Structure 1
Amino acid sequence: MQNNIYVDLHVLQTVPPSNINRDDTGSPKTAQYGGVTRARVSSQSWKKAMREYFKEHEDKETLGIRTKKIVHSLAKVIMEKDQSIDENSAVKLAEDIFNKAKISTKDQEAKALFFLGGKQQERLASYGVENRDDLQIKEIQGILNKDQSIDVALFGRMVADAPELNVDASSQVAHAISTHEIATEFDFFTAVDDLTSDDQAGAGMLGTVEYNSSTLYRYANVAVHELRFQLGDNKDAVIEALKLFVKSFVLSLPSGKINTFANQTLPDALIVSIRSDRPVNLVKAFENPVKSRNGYVSGSVSSLKTEFGKINRFAEAPISTFTVGDIAGLGEDKENLNELLTAFGETIDRLL
């Protein structure tokens, strides 16, 4: 097996007028880069969309839950394991299990969101039922450090009260930014009260919504060797998790204001590179913002290809590169995403 393997994902995606990721004032998020204002979609927003995609397309047993309500979630599984245990006793046992592992709870809720794998919850419930009067911290923490779910392995887990339960994320997702300068616009809207009489004038409601349009550069990577460690050296699970990660990153979309703007777009271009030295973000391709009167995709593709060709000045050439969409000539060009995923999976299989 190759010692270190990294997967880089580069996506160009045109988003029409929208407000898919907002700040605390309701304005679309932005960033200053290259001396101009860019549209921005936070990595947290896109990772949430990816986890929702996981839930729709993956077996729930391989996924985890992130919640403060871990006590009641575990109690429910405990009662399923042993129907003689009533709800109050199950809740008490569940709380004792988490407290024993140094996960603090208050009013039967964790103090912070906790990422718990599905298989881990099943094993905790079985352990609790079998050892109700003799709970051991090492046993409980051992369960929480094994059989990581795909999403916990990819996105990590941080437990302030018990650092020994931390899980290093095997993936990184960058904030998406526009390849060009943007200007925020305002949509003034009114709503009519359906029961307003004919002799009454005026709107029942009025307001404004900020929005912008952009061609986004999106980047993510996965440390395959770290993912393999987190998934217990299960090669098949690693390959399927990687394919799911690629597919979810490409096809997911944050849902903010989606009913208002219907911004249901797909990527224009995708590059997937497999590397042995380190991951490489190509955002520098757009430090000089793309300028055009005829759309930004073509200019963005050209800038991205140019930057991709410069990688070898400082880093090793990729082991393999696959492309789909309005970009070609960088490696193996595929007709569609499914073809890319098949070739990508076969390459990872050989490397592992």
Structure 2
Amino acid sequence: MPEPSEPVGARACAIAAALAVADSGDRAAARRMGPEGSAFFWRMVARHGIARSEEEKWRRITRMLALLTPASATKTVHQPGRKLGAVLADGGAETARLDKPALSEPRLARLLAARGPPGWKRWNAPSAPWRANSRISTRPAWPGPCCARTAATSRATITPGLTADPNKSPRMPMPDPRFLQIHFLAPYTAALLNRDDAGLAKRLPYGGHLRTRVSSQCLKRHWRLADDPHALDRIDGADAAFRSREIVERKVFGDWSEGVADDTIAAIREVLLKAVYGDKGADKKSRQTLLLGEVEVAYLTQAAQDMVAQSNGDPKQAKDVAAEWFKTHKANLKAMGEGAKLPGGLVGALFGRMVTSDPRANIDAAVHVAHAFTVHAEEAESDYFIAADDLAREEDTGADTIQETELTSGLFYGYVVVDLPALIDNLGGDRRLAGEVLHNLVYLVAEVSPGAKLGSTAPYSRASFLLLEAGDRQPRSLAEAFRAPVAPDTAQAVAALADHLAALDGAYATAEDRRVMTLVNRDLSGAARGTLAELAQFAGGLPTAVPMPA
């Protein structure tokens, strides 16, 4: 190991110290950076005068240092005088006598993911708790200082003296992210979050018991329309979109059409309705509720204004002009958004769009949302209530109105998957915009409540548990943890979820990079704990690490 007085060791110590005082976003980006580096790394290159020929080596060193720096660090925890193996074994507490190494398996996996190409030297860690013939020990030599990981904040998963079983694969290094999975638990009391056609709470039979359910459509609507500091429409570059059967009447023909003869407007409107909603577009009841982006509305508006100008106030000429426009342009939604970054607006880019009248205009959803359901059997009651007449005379007895409604309580499990390459593609390749969308989406999932009857039930709550997973394997829900209903208690629900997740890890070893926010004191397999802000920042940094097809 180089001493701090040597150039390599001194530089590594300086970078470690800078990481300790860097903001969490810089640390997160440094942990995930690929060949393109990160803002923090390039600042280090400039500060320390790293030669171009050494940039790749120092990028790997910087990433390793970032992986070994705890999220809670406020000063450098690197000890240049100690060997890496010893630090991994005792977590930085030299006098400790631990039964197991302090470094967690997931953190070690992330460290190994930063290893160099084949042919690097073996790790020189004779005091490490595994033997030299372990597959885990075949790693690059560490060129700089070691990291002291506080033993009290780590969970051990590797037994001292363990020899790797050649018939069993070790946990894989953290993969490049393709999917972001979001799991949440949210409690609600005496509410009616989502109703069916009879006005009752929506339900789901699962595991032999009825559960209270909130539909994915309900969740998505509240998230996309939220009036919130993290609302999607507050993101710079987030084009608006409108979901309606009356887009032509209410958005295309706006204030500008006042004063134009009704017959002229009618002739042009009929053609535009056919272009947007299909052959039966003139009949409102036959139209599909359609999502149009701002750029598509602007296209139609300009076309309508041009046709009005060409008609010279003559309704017959307006009809001919409109017919020629439809014939010549062969208008379709695909053409309307041609060349636009967000043809269906931000909402279309996230949640997709299906156009039965023009399949070419379909947009595949990048955000997939499951129906939320209670982790326990349904808890519901019928609420009988009245409305009294404040101006009733003494002889007027009884209630003015008698009604009945259903109220439910429950702890809901929800699940969201984001296809990261699809999101970036739907956003026109804009990774910055994708990062801001993910950052805000995490806040919306955790903080925005679905629900009706706001005035009488105040159905406002926040997630008591939020788990983020980034990986490259096919996503999988954790709903199976609740097939057998658990008690309506967050601690027991988190325990069931944690046990199921650990079983999946033991069977599949998919090595997702995890972050968890929880109101109960329970560790999860491979998950680093953090605040909602830290989880949102983690999600927001993922698009920069997503490999896109050539």
**Same-fold call, TM > 0.5?**
yes
CA distance in 1, matches of 2:268, 2:426: 28
Match of 2:233 in 1: 59
Bigger mean CA deviation after superposition, 233-242 or 103-112: 103-112
AA at the equivalent of 1:64: A
By how many angstroms is 1:54 displaced? 6.8
1:189–1:208 Cα contact (<8 Å) kept: yes
Matched with 1:99 is 274
For residues 213-250 of structure 1, what are the alpha-carbon distances to aligned partners after superposition, in whole Å with 9 as ceiling and x for unaligned? 11100111111111122121111122222223222222
Q: Partners in 2 of 1:84 and 1:140 — Cα distance?
A: 28
> What pairs with 1:331-346 in structure 2 (closer than 5 Å)?
331-335=527-531, 337-346=532-541
Matching residue of 2:545 = 350
2:296 pairs with one of 120, 131, 136: 120
Distance of 1:3 and 1:127 partners within structure 2: 45
Change in 2 beyond 3 A, CA 1:231/1:348: closer
**Deviation at 1:93?**
3.9
Q: Deviations over 1:162-186 (max 9, x none)?
A: 2112111112111111001124212
Alpha-carbon distance change, 208 to 270 in structure 1, aligned in 2, over 3 angstroms: same
Structure 1-normalised TM-score? 0.87
3-state SS, counterpart of residue 253 of structure 2: helix
| CA-CA distance at 1:299 after TM superposition | 0.5
Match of 1:75 in 2: 252
Change in Cα spacing, 1:91 to 1:11, as seen in structure 2 (3 Å) is farther
SS across alignment from 2:395: coil
Residues 109 and 287 from structure 1, CA distance in 2 versus in 1: closer, same or farther, beyond 3 angstroms? closer
Residues in 2 aligned to 1:155 and 1:53: alpha-carbon distance in whole angstroms: 15
Q: Which amino acid aligns with 1:346?
A: G
Deviates more, 1:117-126 or 1:17-26: 117-126
Between the aligned partners of 1:97 and 1:234, the Cα distance in structure 2 is 32
Residues 242 and 77 of structure 1: CA distance in aligned 2, closer, same or farther (over 3 Å)? farther
Deviates more, 1:45-54 or 1:128-137: 128-137
Match of 1:261 in 2: 457
1 CA distance for matches of 2:465 and 2:368? 20
Matched residue, 1:42: 215
For residues 414 and 543 of structure 2, what CA distance do their matches in structure 1 show?
A: 22
Asked if structure 2 preserves the Cα contact closer than 8 Å seen for 1:192 and 1:203, the reply is: yes
Q: 1:7 aligns with which of 180, 192, 195?
A: 180
Cα separation, 2, equivalents of 1:226 and 1:269: 27
Q: Is 2:481–2:497's contact at 8 Å kept on the other side of the alignment?
A: yes
SS at match of 1:157: coil
How much is the aligned-residue C-alpha RMSD, in angstroms? 2.9
Q: CA deviation at 1:42?
A: 1.1
Query: Match for 1:198 among 372, 394, 406?
Result: 394
Q: CA deviation at 1:97?
A: 4.1
TM-score normalized by the length of structure 2:
0.57
Checking the alignment, whether the CA contact within 8 Å between 1:72 and 1:108 is kept in structure 2 is no
5+ residue gaps in structure 2?
1-33, 35-174, 311-320
Deviation (angstroms), 1:255 = 2.7
Give the aligned residue type for 2:536.
L
How far apart in 2 are the matches of 1:66 and 1:319? Answer: 36
Residue 32 of structure 1: aligned partner: 205
The 1-side partners of 2:245 and 2:445 are apart by 26
- In 2 relative to 1, CA 59–191 (structure 1 residues): closer, same or farther, beyond 3 Å? closer
Aligned to 1:299: 492
Residue type of the alignment partner of 1:52:
L
The SS at the match of 1:338 is: helix
Cα deviation code 1:93-149 (max 9, x no counterpart) = 454345346734115787111100112222443455568754512675223364231
- Give the secondary structure class of the aligned counterpart of 1:154: helix
Q: Superposition pairs for residues 124-273 of structure 1, below 5 Å?
A: 124-126=300-302, 129=305, 134=325, 135-137=328-330, 141-144=334-337, 146=340, 147-148=342-343, 149-273=345-469
Q: Is the contact made by 1:78 and 1:129 (CA closer than 8 Å) also made in structure 2?
A: no
Contact kept? 1:71, 1:91, Cα under 8 Å:
no
Secondary structure (helix, strand or coil) at the match of 1:106 reads coil
Q: Is the 8 A contact 2:470 2:513 kept in 1?
A: yes
**Letter paired with 1:150:** L
2:164 is the counterpart of 1:20: no
The alpha carbon displacement at 1:210 in A equals 1.3
- Distance in 2 separating the partners of 1:32 and 1:169: 27
Counterpart residue identity of residue 543, structure 2 = I
Identical aligned residues as a percent: 23
Q: Is the 8 A contact 1:155 1:170 kept in 2?
A: yes
Structure 2 SS opposite 1:44: helix
Residue 34 of structure 1 deviates from its aligned partner by: 0.8
Query: In 1, Cα distance between the equivalents of 2:265 and 2:248?
Result: 9
CA spacing shift, 1:123–1:204, aligned 2, 3 Å: same
What is the DSSP-based 3-state SS (H/G/I as helix, E as strand, rest coil) of the residue aligned with 1:12?
A: strand
Q: Give the deviation of 1:199 after TM superposition.
A: 2.6
Which residue of structure 2 lines up, in the alignment, with residue 286 of structure 1?
A: 482
Relative to 1, partners in 2 of residues 1:3 and 1:183: Cα closer, same or farther, differing over 3 Å?
Answer: closer
* Farther-moved stretch of structure 1 (301-310 vs 214-223): 301-310
Q: CA deviation at 1:195?
A: 1.5
How far apart, in 1, do the equivalents of 2:430 and 2:266 lie? 34
- Distance in 2, matches of 1:188 and 1:140, equals 49
Could you tell me how far 1:92 is from its partner in structure 2?
Answer: 4.4
Partners of 1:28 and 1:346 lie apart in 2 by 38
Evaluate the alpha carbon distance shift between residue 88 and residue 303 of structure 1 in structure 2; reply closer, same or farther with a 3 A threshold: farther
Q: Distance in 1 between matches of 2:285 and 2:267?
A: 12
Deviation at 1:258, TM superposition (A): 2.2
Whether the 8 Å CA contact 1:173–1:219 is kept in 2: the answer is yes
Does the 8 Å CA contact 1:18/1:212 hold for their aligned counterparts? yes
Contact 1:170 1:227 in 2 (8 A): yes
Preserved CA contact (<8 Å) 2:353 2:363: yes
Shift of 1:318: 4.4
| SS in structure 1 at match of 2:184 | strand
**Structure 1 unaligned blocks of 5 or more:** none
Give, in whole Å, the separation in 1 of the partners of 2:365 and 2:197. Answer: 27
CA contact (8 A) 1:120 1:144 kept: yes
Check conservation: 1:269, 1:324, Cα contact below 8 A.
yes
Alignment partners' CA distance in 2, 1:252 and 1:235:
25
User: Which entry has the higher C-alpha Rg, 1 or 2?
Assistant: 2
* Letter of the 2:233 counterpart: D
* SS in structure 2 of the partner of residue 184 of structure 1: strand
